[in-house]
Amino acid sequence: MSWTEERIDKLKKLWGSGKTAAEIAEELGDVTRNAVIGKANRLGLSTKSAPAAQKPKKKVIPSHRACQWPIGHPGEANFHFCGDEAVPSKPYCLKHCNMAYQSKDNS
């Protein structure tokens, strides 16, 4: 197999369209996936970014954290969580923190 101008142009077109190296190799025929990757690197084509290698999205921190105290019983139609504003660094609102976190002195 030789890299003719026609095959190189097709490689560039397919590479730019987002096809994988394996798909490009199959379309070109008589070439391996690794040969496609090597030629793309030598041509200076941009590297394809895998989903895990993409720039992480900025996490949005909600301004209001909701209390996670369960109200009712799971599985019942009226089951829900409190939803009031949670105490910073706690999963519950002040009322439910007072119920959940009791000092040892109150034994």
pLDDT (tens digit per residue) in 26-39: 999 999 999 999 99
> Count of residues for the chain?
107
Domain that holds residue 99: 70-106
In a domain, residue 17? The reply is yes
pLDDT band with cut points at 50, 70 and 90 for residue 63: low
Q: Give the pLDDT confidence score for residue 59 in this predicted structure.
A: 63
Please state, as a whole number, how many other Cβ atoms lie within 10 Å of the Cβ of residue 24. 23
Radius of gyration of the chain (CA): 29
Number of domains, the chain: 2
Whether 12 and 48 share a structural domain: yes
The reply to whether 48 and 16 lie within a common domain is yes
* Residues 48, 9 within the same domain: yes
Name the percent of the chain lying above pLDDT 90. 61
* Token pair of 48 as six digits: 């394809």
Same domain, residue pair 14 and 48: yes
The mean-pLDDT minimum among 15-24, 53-62, 79-88, 97-106 falls in 53-62
Is residue 63, in this structure, part of any structural domain at all? no
Classify residue 103 by burial, with Cβ atoms within 10 Å: 0-12, 13-18, 19+. Answer: exposed
Kindly report whether the global pTM for this prediction surpasses the value 0.75: no
| Domain membership flag for residue 86 | yes
Same domain flag for 9 and 44: yes
Question: Where does the pLDDT of residue 64 fall: very low under 50, low under 70, confident under 90, or very high at 90 and above?
Answer: confident
Per cent of the chain over pLDDT 70 is 83
60 within domain boundaries: no
Residues 9 and 41 both lie in one domain: yes
Which pLDDT does position 107 carry in this prediction? 54
Statement to judge: residues 45 and 74 lie in one domain: no
Q: How many Å apart are CA 11 and CA 48, to the nearest integer?
A: 14
Alpha carbon distance 37, 31 (integer Å) = 11
